[in-house]
Structure 1
Amino acid sequence: MQNNTQLVKNVFNKNADLYQEKYMDVAMYATSIDLFCKCLPTDGSVLELACGPGNITRYMLDKCPGLKILGTDIAENMIALAKQNCPEAAFELLDCREIDKLNRKFNGMMIGFVFPYLSREECIQVIADSAKLLEPNGVIYLSTMEDNYVTSGWRTSSKGDKVYMYNHEEGYLTKALKDNGFEITDMQRKVYDGWDGKPVTDLILIGVLN
């Protein structure tokens, strides 16, 4: 959905400072990020998709200062904030659907909450592309909002910004991981109240490439 891609980019550029204020603390996901980091060499390389203001990047670097992280995002303002928050890391503008253009390998792939903005087919393709970019025994981390795919739809934020958001199902995500040579080593769910008071489930999957 190309039009939605531009909408998402505009929304994140517009609200980058607000996003940083709200989401820099990733303590809710610390346990799973710690597991991801433990699977990496101390000086390992990580490709992070949709890095935002560098919230997960900052946590990983504080936990494992030797990591070499390349953070990517489609929003220029997010990249600018990430560079300020994580000067030790490298950042560049890149759509996660175009990572097949990268000409290097990584020990880890960090994919934190970009899937809510990608269709089922796009998510499956990102997983396949990630497998090709990982070194042997490379590790993948992905998180997304979990619900029946048919509940996906247009959402309007408290600021009046409208984007199409996808809910995803564990079944086809785990299948895509296994089909591309990953062994799933950890699965977690976080349940909390959404902005409308309804419960939201975050699904977190970690896999190692065989």
Structure 2
Amino acid sequence: MERISKTITAYDKHCDVYNDKFKEFEPYVQKIKEFIELLEPGMKVLDLGCGPGNVSRQLMLSGKEFSIEGIDLSEEMVKLARKNVPSGKFSCRDLRDISFPAESFDAILLSFCIVHLDGTEMADLLKKVAKYLKQERRLYLSFMEGKKDGFEKTSFSEEELFFYYHSLEKVQDILKDNHLSINKLTKQGYLESDGSITTDVFIFASKGN
């Protein structure tokens, strides 16, 4: 599938640039830190679409000694994640094909990974996530809204990547249908390299609350 293969090729080729840009990107780091405050030490955490391990790195730096597992489809990103977070367990897998036993994790984070999934794939993944999450445990979800789906160049890659801009209303409905309650929802603007503004959406949710 071209949208997937071209996107992964771009991530593989520019993983170091991506890592350098977002490793300490304050707007995103701050959101992760806020979420970490809600978690208890020693929790089992799943980082989906982990990239070079930027989210997992913040989890590690918190000192809460989480058990971290990360998954990404880019082999080069996974290699970087293993270097950035030596204590984590990272594997190169397709999020559309993952499978875990029910209630395997205390927290699951999806930081800008559903932006590469179409509506059906996104809904299927969130349904799985709800199953894998323990009762009354936490979900972190971020994505973009407000633009047209399609291939785009980015600030870290001249090669195009395919992005989906899911509507907040649709995402909220899917979360509700899967017994995931939103505890906190925030939006903020992200300045693109062409001067336009993309709306980033951040959701903290919990299962069964």
> What TM-score, normalized to structure 1?
0.92
Correspondence for 1:153: 150
1:40-55 counterparts in 2 under 5 A?
40-55=39-54
Distance, in Å, in 2 between the alignment partners of 1:98 and 1:204 is 24
| C-alpha distance in structure 2 between counterparts of 1:175 and 1:169, whole Å | 10
Match of 1:107 in 2: 106
Q: Which residue of 1 aligns with 2:187?
A: 189
Q: What corresponds to 1:126 in structure 2?
A: 125
Deviation at 1:68, TM superposition (A): 0.6
| Matches of 1:58 and 1:4, distance apart in 2 | 28
- 2:36 maps to 37
Structure 2 counterparts to residues 57-76 of structure 1, below 5 A: 57-76=56-75
- Summarize deviations over 1:50-88 as a string: whole Å, max 9, x none: 111111111111114311110111111111111111111
CA distance in 2, matches of 1:55, 1:160: 22
Aligned position for 2:97: 98
Match in the other structure for 1:162 = 160
Residue 143 of structure 2 is aligned to residue 174 of structure 1: no
Gaps of 5+ in 1: none
Structure 1 counterpart of 2:199: 201
In the alignment, the residues of structure 1 paired with residue 106 and residue 91 of structure 2 have an alpha-carbon distance, to the nearest angstrom, of: 18
Instruction: Note the alpha carbon deviations across 1:124-148, whole angstroms, 9 max, x for none.
Output: 1111000110111121111011115
Which range moved further: 158-167 or 126-135? 158-167
Distance 2:63 2:76 in 1: 26
TM-score by length of 2: 0.92
SS at match of 1:167: coil
- Equivalence for 1:16: 15
Distance 2:161 2:32 in 1: 27
Pairwise CA RMSD: 1.6
Instruction: State percent identity of aligned pairs.
Output: 27
> Matched residue of 1:9: which SS?
helix
